[in-house]
Structure 1
Amino acid sequence: MRLFLSSLGFGDHPDALVGVVGAGARIGVVVNAVDDRPAADRALAVEIESDEMARLGLRPVHLDVRDPDSARLLDGLDALWVRGGNTFVLRAALSDADTDTAIVDRVRAGTLAWAGYSAGAAVLSPDLRYVSEVDDPSAAGPSPITTGLGLVDRPVVPHVDGSYDEALRCAALSARLTREDVDHLRIGDRDAVTVVDGVVTRH
């Protein structure tokens, strides 16, 4: 299993990202975490994220995980780059076409790398209920999914060292989890965490 987790883009560690996904990888750009925003914003997100991946020598392809053919489209990809936004919106999109099952199976088998930031990292946690302290669950509708993909065995809390509103909420969540002795993965805005064959490395 190969994972790259960060808070803002690839932080200060583009080399770590390329190391996880592979040089020249064909990488699916997933921006479904901003499905609750206007179409123009989503289109701009695809453009920005794709440009960033191309700048690293990767081969980006937009992947809408709500597409009924998304599980089939995964066959041509080496990795995913999953943008931040609202974790519950992203989780709902992943479940729309059962893309979540196909992704989890391939990531666990080691044939697909997952790289994501903010919501794209948090959604890998087993339990998303804690994320409601940071993201609005109602953005995903009246019955948001609160189980994550479970590719990480603990809560993932990004943005723990920033001074803006979202970061302060993340820092407060991390502090609460610490007080309650809940093991969790803290990620600062310039940091990255990689998981390769069970080995967790902080960058």
Structure 2
Amino acid sequence: MRLYLSSFRLGDHAERLLALLPGGTTGRPVAVVGNAMDAESPQARAAGMRREATALRGLGLDPVELDLRDHAGGGAGELAGVLACHDLVWLRGGNVFMLRQAMARSGADAAFTALLGRDALVYAGYSAGACVLAPSLRGLEHCDDVTAVRRVYGEEPVWDGLGLIDRPFVPHVDSPGHPETVLLGQVSAAYRAAGTAHHALRDGQVLVVRDREQRLF
């Protein structure tokens, strides 16, 4: 399993993302998932996706959007076939509950679990894109609007994460200038008070997972 999980955007160690890809990087296809922004206005969502594409092209990669809403009801098999055409998937930040719901509706949760289990692609992303891999999303409602799921989908939110990392992921901690740093500092403090081990990252830091090894940079 190969994961590159950043607190904010590419972080300060993009070379370690490229090192997870075998061979050269020029023109390598990247599926960019922006469903964490599905509760935002179409204009804000589009601007966010353009920013991600620009950053990834700067690394010599070839980003193409993969909108999980287009695959709702298709199941894990359909998504696995789409993802198999890419060496890397990049999941941007936003609302973790919206991203988790889009994964559940499309079968992306099961597809990612299966593909990463056989090391068939690299999973990378930041903020919500990393948080969704934890065993549970409980606690993150202090920062992200869980009611957006009911408002947009008319469904109850999914609280279980994908369980591909062993503990909660808390981004933007001690990151002056980020608008969510205070709230996520409180999330981290609540986990500590409850004795819940978690990954707390400052902006710029990344957690890299390769096979059974986890390293924070």
TM-score of the superposed pair, with normalisation by structure 1: 0.94
Measured at CA, do residues 200 and 56 of structure 1 come closer, stay the same or move farther in structure 2, by a change above 3 Å? same
* CA distance in 2: counterparts of 1:55 and 1:70, whole angstroms: 27
Partner of 2:4: 4
- The one of 53, 64, 67 equivalent to 2:67 is 64
Partner of 2:158: 145
Partner of 2:15: 15
Q: Is 1:121 paired with 2:134?
A: no
Partner of 1:135: 144
Q: Give the drift of 1:102.
A: 0.9
- Contact map agreement 1:20 1:194 (CA 8 A) in 2: no
- Contact map agreement 2:80 2:115 (CA 8 A) in 1: no
Partner of 2:74: none
Q: Is 1:177 paired with 2:186?
A: no
Partner of 1:202: 216
Q: Is 1:33 paired with 2:42?
A: no
Q: Is 1:50 paired with 2:53?
A: yes
- Deviation string 1:95-147 (CA, Å, 9 cap, x unpaired) is 11212111111012100111010001100001001111111111111511101
**SS of the counterpart of 1:114?**
strand
> What one-letter code is carried by the residue in structure 2 that aligns with 1:75?
A
* CA distance in 2: counterparts of 1:36 and 1:21, whole angstroms: 32
**SS of the counterpart of 1:66?**
helix
- Contact map agreement 2:135 2:163 (CA 8 A) in 1: yes
**SS of the counterpart of 2:70?**
coil
* CA distance in 2: counterparts of 1:9 and 1:17, whole angstroms: 12
- Contact map agreement 2:4 2:17 (CA 8 A) in 1: yes
Q: Is 1:162 paired with 2:175?
A: yes
* CA distance in 1: counterparts of 2:108 and 2:11, whole angstroms: 27
Cα RMSD of the aligned pairs, angstroms, is 1.4
**SS of the counterpart of 2:136?**
coil
TM-score of the superposed pair, with normalisation by structure 2: 0.89
Structure 1 moving runs of 4+ over 4 Å: none
Partner of 2:108: 99
Percent same amino acid at aligned positions? 38
- Contact map agreement 1:124 1:150 (CA 8 A) in 2: yes
- Which consecutive unaligned segments of at least 5 residues does structure 2 have? 72-77
